[in-house]
Amino acid sequence: MKDAQPRTIYLKDYRAPDYWIDETHLTFDLQPDATLVESRLKVRRNLDQGNDLPKLVLDGVELELVSVAIDGQSLSADEYVLYDESLELPVSRPAFELQILTRIKPESNTSLEGLYLSNGMYCTQCEAEGFRKITFYPDRPDVMSRFTTKVIAPRSYPVLLSNGNDIERGELDNDRHFVTWQDPFPKPSYLFALVAGDLEHVDETFTTKNGREVKLQLFTEPRNIHKCDHAMRSLKHSMRWDEEVYGREYDLDIFMIVAVDHFNMGAMENKGLNIFNSSCVLASPETATDAAFQRIEAIVGHEYFHNWSGNRVTCRDWFQLSLKEGFTVFRDAEFSADMNSAAVKRIEDVVLLRASQFAEDAGPMAHPIRPESYMEISNFYTLTVYEKGAEVVRMIHNIVGKEAFRKGSDLYFDRHDGQAATCEDFVAAMEEASGKDLEQFRNWYNQAGTPLLEVSDSFDEQKSEYHLHVKQSCPPTPGQKEKQPFHIPFAIGLLDSAGKDIPLNAQGDTQLVLDVTQTEQTFSFDGVGERPLPSLLRGFSAPVKLRYDYSAEQLAFLMSHDSDGFNRWDAGQRLALLVLEDLQAAYRAGEQLVLDTRLADAYRAVLEADDLDLAVRAKMLELPAEQIIAESSDAIDAEAIIAARSFLKQALAEALEPQLSNWYTRLDVEKPYSPSSADIAERSLKNTCLAYLVLLQKPEYRTLANKQFAQSGNMTDCAAALAALVNSGDEVLSRSALDAFYEKWQEDPLVFDQWLAIQAGSARFGTLQRVRDLLEHPAFELTSPNKVRSVVGAFAMRNFTQFHAGEGEGFDFLADFVIRLDKVNPQIAARLVTPITRWRKYQSPMQEFMHASLARVMAAGNLSKDLYEVVSKGLA
Ligand code: PHE
Ligand code: ZN
């Protein structure tokens, strides 16, 4: 029986475990409907907790208990207590061996947690609490154990994998065989993994800086074996990078990656055996876009870097999740920045933060990067814990400086190697190594919400003194009304009227990081000869909202003169937001919408500038996403946002046609595909131009798009052309292109997913009906998170225009879908419902429509813990 209302778990209730598990010996006898799991555990009382012998409580969910024995003595059913989600055992000795036999059904496991089948291959996902669906165990990250795993399967599953090194293999009766794996490093259960299947692999070796040879293996289904090169190359780059930048070396003789089609997240860092969503590992130029190539590099890096930040040093409890995720996202972001265009990587990360994390921080699920409570931990694998968590680590990096940061990370890894640590341990190591006081900085770990910096300035001509007045505040979030001021590293520069940086101190520095620590503060600069133009929050030095009353002219000036590349881009975003605000107001007043020529001029300057990196140029031509526009208003008027933005896009296309078409022609050259940043930049600018041009009702540009669609030799150009056609509103052309694409790619699930997502993401009318039709497509599977994301995710999370169209039909559709999905995959259902939990932010009547849909989900009853938590908090 499920509890009517799930229990809330609190950080303040943390207690060390009563028992340690020194050794874990597992034997799996794999069968789809009856897998036997034998577990032999060496259990020892944690004497720090006392000398008594309390009952041993093990976690276990949806398990069939076959037998239990202690030191070889079988227990009868009246000697233990079996609860819905745990098993309570009597203890009479401080150390003993526990033997448990359970039976599970991987074939009917659609939650994709625990042991399950994906296209006939066995795989596991144990983070955060999936191991308890495999066997009874203290399934908590502070219990670290040495694992030995014997995998038995029919010979039709030739590949049998688990963590560590394989120490024995052999044949068995009934056409079966086995492999035994031993992992020398103690680890928590969430890092356990097992894979069995008919897989092929590519092999490479990597020699570590100390000359150890490591075997690298990438496993996939045979049909995908040609798509592994990029991931393998990315893995080698990651291993080298972690040695060079963090001094971290790999520690086992073998490192394996397995691609699986059914996976809830991107990938998982299981010790020595990473398991990846196939969309985050497989790529070929014909089938994967540039974005996919870059995502693969980032995620391969991310999971590899976890070997130190997550595995060697793990988390004490799940409230500390950002300890490994925030740090590792920071590490992978720096890796990507080093491998590609650093400016573009930073822009993309800030866009993600502003479009999605800020909304989370302002919504009903808002939580600090170290949450204080949860019902279902799966709901806390969030943009806040990951992306804001990474920004918090970045701020530490900026406050203590590069060298002290490296010293701090060395100290952290040395001191806590083999331990389950806390966020506090990390900050303490940074503090110690740098000698900087991070006391107030710790508020970033405790307080939710996006701080607001309101900045004004004054200039005293007589004294040649310039003053920046900074006021910080943070809106209330659930359970946190009042906030203490944050320590905010605020990077700034001052520009003179020629656009040059003004020296800010005696050393001649032209950029300073101001320590904003009080609610209100004034910073003074002397020797400033003329009234300067401030360039604020350079490089997005803190995850905050910034308000300063820039004029359109000042923003245009910063766009072409700021020495900080990020702020040049950001000035363009701010200028577009100003213009979009005016357009929204005009729309509401029923006035005709007209293009602000200052924006057109600024964009023209971007197109014509000769010193701009192509990739940054492409980014500068992208209008802020609807979600970002929405974030900047107190009561979201979806209709006005959509009207304003689509008008502006169209008007810019008209105003800049010659320049856009010029760039397109210049970049429309045939050459073999390479995912190099130079080539990616060219494709990105070319396709940005194309997306504008097809909005003009001119046949020549449609023909251009059609030609690119038909002739391009890579998926980036092909998918961009297809999306352009689908968004152009030309029914005939877009239908025939979609059909051709389907004909060609229906057998490749990852490309089929793109076909789904392009349609579900179309800004043109009729999308909801199309989405309904796609769910009926024979190749759609409710059990595949990638398919669900490609249709329903693309519609509800990324298609602002169509999701908000009409009178809430999109919200109703989402509610119905989520209710249905919850029975199959609660984790994904809980994620997908998010858009309608933000109803409070909307104006009437959108707000009522959303609320009604959300209430309907709750009324459906019998919700999973995952969905219940998100919906109930959304209604509260
Ligand atoms: N720990 C994984 C990562 O960030 C994410 C993940 C969480 C995957 C839970 C599966 C389940 O690298
Ligand atoms: Zn991670």
What ranges do the domains of the chain cover?
Answer: 9-198
The response to whether residue 381 sits with its C-beta less than 6 Å from ligand 1 reads: yes
Tell me if residue 104 falls in helix, strand or coil: strand
Q: What CA–CA distance (Å, rounded) separates 494 from 510? A: 7
Nearest CA to ligand 1 atom 2: 268
The interaxial angle of helices 677-693 and 715-728, nearest 10 deg, is 20
* Amino acid identity for residue 171 in this structure: E
Taking only the tens place, the pLDDT of each residue in 550-588 is 999 999 999 999 999 999 999 999 999 999 999 999 999
Give me the residues paired with residue 9 across strands: 374
In the residue annotation, 334 being an active-site residue is answered as: no
**325 CA from centroid of ligand 1 (Å):** 9
59 DSSP β-pair partners: 86, 137
Q: What is the mean pLDDT of each run of 10 residues along the chain (876 residues)?
A: 76 98 99 98 98 98 98 98 98 98 98 98 98 99 99 98 98 98 98 99 98 98 97 99 98 98 98 98 98 98 99 99 99 98 97 98 98 98 99 98 98 98 99 98 98 98 98 98 98 98 96 98 97 98 98 98 97 98 98 98 97 95 98 94 98 98 96 96 98 96 97 97 94 96 98 98 94 98 98 98 97 98 98 98 98 98 98 98
3-class DSSP assignment, residue 509 = coil
Tell me, what's the pLDDT at 475? 98
Percent composition of the chain: helix, strand, coil (DSSP 3-state, to 5): 45, 20, 35
Q: For residue 246, give the nearest of 184, 334, 345 by alpha carbon.
A: 334
> What is the atom index within ligand 1 of the atom nearest the CA of 263?
10
Q: Can you tell me which residue has the tokens 């970033």?
A: 444
CB neighbour list of residue 739: distance below 8 Å, 6 or more residues apart: none
CB neighbour burial string for 144-162, b if at least 16 within 10 angstroms, e if fewer: bbbbbbbbbbeeebebbbb
192, 268, 270: which to mutate for ligand 1, most atoms within 8 A of CB? 268
CA distance 474 to 544: 9
Q: Rounded to 10 degrees, what is the CA torsion of 300, 305, 311, 313?
A: -160
Any ligand 1 atom below 6 A from CB of 268: yes
What CATH number belongs to 9-198?
2.60.40.1730
Q: Which pLDDT score, from 0 to 100, does residue 574 have?
A: 98
Starting at the earlier edge strand, list the strands of the sheet with 95-104.
73-74, 64-70, 95-104, 35-45, 19-29, 145-154, 176-187, 165-172
Task: Report which residue type is found at 278.
Answer: S
Nearest to 774 by CA among 812, 819, 738, 818: 738
Give yes or no for residue 730 CB within 6 A of ligand 1. no
ipTM: 0.99
**Residue 66 and residue 74 in contact, taking contact as beta carbons nearer than 8 Å:** no
Nearest CA to ligand 1 atom 9: 127
Tell me, yes or no, if the pTM score tops 0.90: yes
Ligand 2 centre from 98 Cα, in Å?
32
Per annotation, catalytic residue among 303, 325, 360, 626? 303
User: 679 phi and psi, to 5 degrees?
Assistant: -70, -35
Fill in the amino acid letter for 223: R
End-to-end CA distance of the chain: 25
Per-residue b or e along 595-633, where b marks 16 or more CB atoms closer than 10 Å to that residue's CB: bbebbbebbbbbbeeeebbbbbbbbbbbbbbbbbbbbbb
How would you classify the pairing of strands 121-125 and 81-82? unpaired
Q: Evaluate: CB of 325 within 6 angstroms of ligand 1.
A: yes
Contact 322, 392 (CB under 8 A): yes
Ligand 1 pocket check for 798: Cβ under 6 Å: no
**Can you give the pLDDT at residue 2?**
46
Inter-residue contact 130 to 140 (CB < 8 Å): no
> What is the distance in A from the centroid of ligand 2 to the CA of 325?
5
- Closest Cα partner for 184 from 217, 147, 216, 131? 147
Q: Is 150 in the pocket of ligand 1 (CB under 6 A)?
A: no
User: Got the DSSP string for 642-687?
Assistant: HHHHHHHHHHHHHHTHHHHHHHHHHH---------HHHHHHHHHHH
Of all ligands present, the nearest one to the C-alpha of 268 is 1
Which of 129, 265, 305, 320 best tests ligand 1's pocket when mutated (most atoms within 8 Å of CB)?
265
SS3 label, residue 468: strand
Count of other CB atoms within 10 angstroms of residue 348: 16
The pLDDT value recorded for residue 1 is 39
Give the pLDDT confidence score for residue 765 in this predicted structure: 82
Q: Which atom of ligand 1 is nearest to the CA of 381?
A: 7
Q: Which of 127, 321, 322 for a ligand 1 pocket mutation test, highest count of atoms within 8 Å of Cβ?
A: 127
180 lines ligand 1 (CB under 6 A): no
Q: How far is the CA of 356 from the centre of ligand 2 (A)?
A: 18
CB contact set of 129 (below 8 Å; sequence gap of 6+): 59, 113, 139, 190, 377, 378
What is the spatial distance between Cα 651 and Cα 762, in angstroms, rounded to a whole number?
20
Beta strands across the sheet bearing 194-197: 114-118, 121-125, 194-197, 159-162
The number of angstroms, rounded, from the C-alpha of 502 to the middle of its chain's C-alpha atoms is 38
